[in-house]
């Protein structure tokens, strides 16, 4: 049934390969737990007690509540699918309560540090130098996700209109504007890429030193290299630059709905987490400036 479920997600729901891999891993882990703990090989024979036992085992094993809830969400989707296909008589996840997640504020880079990072790094006038700068500028200048950055093609860039077309989660397409300096950087990078690898180089915008499509760890290492040198941010990942993009926009008065659309969030609640950082800044200004504070 798991194979049928994955095919349903791939062909009917059109989930991305990355999401399918995560679902498959979660279900495989649960299936292995059932076999090892209960000698149970049939996921359709599961009760809420089996599920509670698994959730408890994950929590006691040190897994974060956020990761546990993601796995539980996978099982909810799976058993909802089985219920619709009449493979089970009732959904065992209904009686399972998700662990409460301790919400933390997104990590971001301060504006002064971001300026120092982009203004003071001596990027060499080579393909690698233009590529490294482009990665940092695109993540910070557009707020796109790492997966979206890696899937960008040269054809997704419209320099005439100054926008990029991004394919986000659930294959939702959105158009993001680029500032003029970023447009010029993209233009120079594309020229450098063609000069380095020829007109028949990879159709993907971002490539490695060998001209092949860039991959997640390649970008992680690149971002950590520069953030670690010029910022005091505790976390140094591509996603931190996405958080920084959203926080800086809101700090400067951007409309929350506009930021939501730029980030590709499906609900406003996902974007509102960034307002906490903005509110902290306003509170400090108030306490320093108001005579009754």
| pLDDT tens-digit map of 91-107 | 999 999 888 876 666 78
Give the DSSP H or E segment for 164: strand 163-167
As a whole number of angstroms, the distance between CA 135 and CA 220 comes to 10
As a whole number of angstroms, the distance between CA 72 and CA 88 comes to 18
Report, as an integer, the average pLDDT of 272-282. Answer: 70
At residue 107, the pLDDT reads 85
At residue 274, the pLDDT reads 80
At residue 278, the pLDDT reads 64
Classify residue 292 by burial, with Cβ atoms within 10 Å: 0-12, 13-18, 19+.
exposed
As a whole number of angstroms, the distance between CA 291 and CA 293 comes to 6
At 230-255, the pLDDT tens digits run 776 678 899 999 999 999 998 888 99
**Active site residues per annotation:** 145, 169, 239, 242, 265, 274
Helices 17-38, 2-11: inter-axial angle, 10-degree rounding: 170
Please give the model's pTM, rounded to 2 decimal places.
Answer: 0.64
Say if residue 201's pLDDT is above 90. no
> In this structure, what token pair is assigned to residue 292?
């009754």
Percent of the chain past pLDDT 90, that is, above it, reads 68
Partner residues linked to 173 by β-bridges: 167
Say if residue 220's pLDDT is above 80. yes
Least confident of 21-30, 191-200, 269-278: 269-278
The domains found in the chain, sorted by start residue, are 2-95 (1.10.150.130), 111-288 (1.10.443.10)
């Amino acid at each position: 049934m798991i194979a049928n479920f994955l095919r349903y997600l791939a062909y009917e729901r059109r989930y991305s390969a990355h999401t399918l891999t995560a679902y498959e891993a979660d279900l495989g882990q649960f299936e292995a737990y059932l076999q090892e703990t209960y000698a149970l090989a049939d996921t359709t024979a599961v009760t809420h007690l089996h599920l509670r036992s698994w959730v408890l085992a994950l929590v006691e094993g040190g897994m974060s509540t956020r990761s546990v809830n993601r796995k539980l969400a996978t099982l909810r989707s799976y058993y909802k699918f089985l219920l619709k296909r009449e493979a089970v008589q009732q959904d065992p996840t209904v009686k399972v309560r998700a662990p409460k997640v301790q919400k933390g504020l997104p990590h971001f880079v301060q504006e002064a540090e971001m300026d120092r990072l982009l203004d003071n790094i001596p990027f060499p006038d080579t393909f690698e130098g233009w590529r490294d700068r482009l990665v940092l500028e695109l993540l910070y200048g557009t707020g796109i996700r790492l997966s979206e950055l890696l899937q960008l093609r040269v054809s997704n860039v419209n320099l005439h209109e100054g926008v990029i077309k991004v394919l986000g989660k659930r294959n939702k397409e959105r158009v993001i504007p680029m500032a003029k300096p970023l447009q010029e950087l993209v233009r120079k990078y594309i020229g450098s890429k063609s000069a380095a690898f020829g007109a028949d180089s990879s159709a993907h915008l971002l490539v490695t030193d060998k001209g092949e499509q860039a991959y997640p760890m390649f970008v992680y290492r690149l971002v950590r290299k520069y953030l670690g040198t010029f910022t005091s941010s505790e976390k140094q990942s591509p996603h931190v630059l996405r958080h920084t993009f959203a926080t800086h926009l809101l700090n400067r008065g951007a409309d929350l709905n506009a930021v939501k659309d730029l980030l590709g969030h499906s609900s406003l609640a996902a974007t509102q987490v960034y307002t906490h950082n903005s509110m902290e800044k306003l509170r400090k200004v108030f306490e320093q400036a108001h005579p009754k504070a």
